[in-house]
Structure 1
Amino acid sequence: MGSRSAVRPRQRAQHLGPERRRPQVLDAALRIAVEDGIAAVTVAAVAERMNVTRPVVYACFADRVELLEALIRREERVLLDGIVAALPRRRVEADEEVFVEGFRALLETVAARPDTWKLLSGNPDPAVVHSFGRGRQVALERCTRRLRPTLRAWGIADAERKLPALVELWVSAGEGAVRTLLSGEGDWTPEDLGAFVGAAVYRALRGA
């Protein structure tokens, strides 16, 4: 009697269908990755976390690698949206306020989904090692496109040669701000830390 009741929820779970089930599978995989490391994310572990059978997970993703790839892509999109928000968009000749608003937006994104950062900044799994760092490269490319006309508008000498170094400074400052926020040290809020780092980055770039 007890065994039949234990099986019943798993049978109902299958009726949701792969399309509706995939986000739940990814959510479960993310929790496992953050709590136990990405190496702990297996089809069996995800199924156990969701209280479903492994075929339910396999109906959503062909194997563990496909599941991890989908998880990384989804979380990268979330983080990239925050990074793009940290780019000056109101005008080419951005002022300090634009940078402050951008870094605040980034940190608010991370504060809302800290597990995303923890996943993407953790040690990569050998099975999907090529996927890690992809989001950062996209961020560097987007920052380069945004910063190039701003440096020219500011009249920065030798702007094109300095551009890669300044973009790296900008992105690294964002990463450092995120780590500071998530560490809890200094009792920073996204608003206060965004104001501090945004102003510092603006002054560094403006005086380059």
Structure 2
Amino acid sequence: MAQVKRGAVTPARRRYAKRLQPADRREQLLDAALHIVAESGFADVSIAAVAERGGVTRPVVYDSFGSRDELLADLVERETTRMREAVLRAMSEVDGSIESGADPRDVLAAALVRFLAEVRAMPETWRLVYFPLSGVPSTLRERVEQAHDEPRGPLHRVLGAWLTGRPDADEVDLDVLVQLIQGLIQTAARLVLDEPDRFDVDRILAPFELVLFQES
């Protein structure tokens, strides 16, 4: 038997990626791509960058995604689906609360609290929508922009209920009001994403209610 010379350096074993089921591997690689997008934008996403971030080789990435475009399309599909589900959870009680006669101001405030909690829970996902990211492929830009408008339907209903019976209701364009409030909500989300420790829910909610819901 050959003897190892004293003092000889034993080559380090190459580390191999943990074997995962195909679906789990796809999720892992999509997570790696999401981290890259959140940090530096779509332009920096490549098969090589995702492989390095995921701790695998490029052939492993190609086993899951045929191209960079396919990977990005699947990433946007996954994240916009997550956003849509989060908005549905945040707005889930809006219609029932309005029908039961709850004050629309309380309904909207509660929905805002739930929505900001969803944003805090998935910051990298929401950065795709609320922060300007370089290199968004033109074929995906429409999908990303649509995610901005997910709350519009529930907002239209709750603000319409709020205007009902107000003496100045005829002077207010509901569509304009919805877009203005949607802009305030998006600004609140950006504050939470940018400085979550500084901007808690109470700090955001107080001026929001003051600006929107002054007593008539």
Matched residue, 1:194: 205
Q: Counterparts of 2:206 and 2:64 in 1: how far apart (Å)?
A: 42
How far off is 1:191 after superposition? 4.0
- RMSD of aligned Cα (Å): 3.0
Q: Counterparts of 2:70 and 2:211 in 1: how far apart (Å)?
A: 38
- Structure 2, unmatched stretches of 5+, are 1-9
* Matches for 1:168-187 after TM superposition, within 5 Å: 168-184=179-195, 187=198
* Matches for 1:56-67 after TM superposition, within 5 Å: 56-67=60-71
Report the secondary structure of 1:133's partner residue: helix
Q: Report if aligned partners of 1:72, 1:131 keep a CA contact under 8 Å in 2.
A: yes
Normalised TM-score (structure 1): 0.78
Q: Given the alignment of the two structures, is residue 103 of structure 1 paired with residue 115 of structure 2, yes or no? A: no
Going from structure 1 to structure 2, the CA distance change for 1:170 and 1:82 (only over 3 Å counts) comes to: farther
Bigger shift: residues 111-120 or 150-159: 150-159
How far off is 1:77 after superposition? 2.8
Letter in 1 for 2:129: L
Q: Given the alignment of the two structures, is residue 24 of structure 1 paired with residue 28 of structure 2, yes or no? A: yes
Going from structure 1 to structure 2, the CA distance change for 1:201 and 1:69 (only over 3 Å counts) comes to: farther
Q: 1:164 aligns with which of 159, 165, 175?
A: 175
Q: Report if aligned partners of 2:105, 2:162 keep a CA contact under 8 Å in 1.
A: no
- Structure 1, unmatched stretches of 5+, are none
Based on CA coordinates, which of the two structures has the bigger radius of gyration?
A: 2
Letter in 2 for 1:95: P
Going from structure 1 to structure 2, the CA distance change for 1:60 and 1:190 (only over 3 Å counts) comes to: farther
How far off is 1:116 after superposition? 1.5
Report the secondary structure of 2:151's partner residue: helix
Matched residue, 2:76: 72
Matched residue, 1:9: 16
* Residues paired across the two proteins, number: 198
Q: Counterparts of 1:201 and 1:80 in 2: how far apart (Å)?
A: 27
Report the secondary structure of 1:70's partner residue: helix
Q: Report if aligned partners of 2:79, 2:125 keep a CA contact under 8 Å in 1.
A: yes
Structure (1/2) with the larger helix percentage: 1
Q: Given the alignment of the two structures, is residue 119 of structure 1 paired with residue 128 of structure 2, yes or no? A: yes
How far off is 1:183 after superposition? 3.1
Matched residue, 2:146: 134
Letter in 1 for 2:118: T
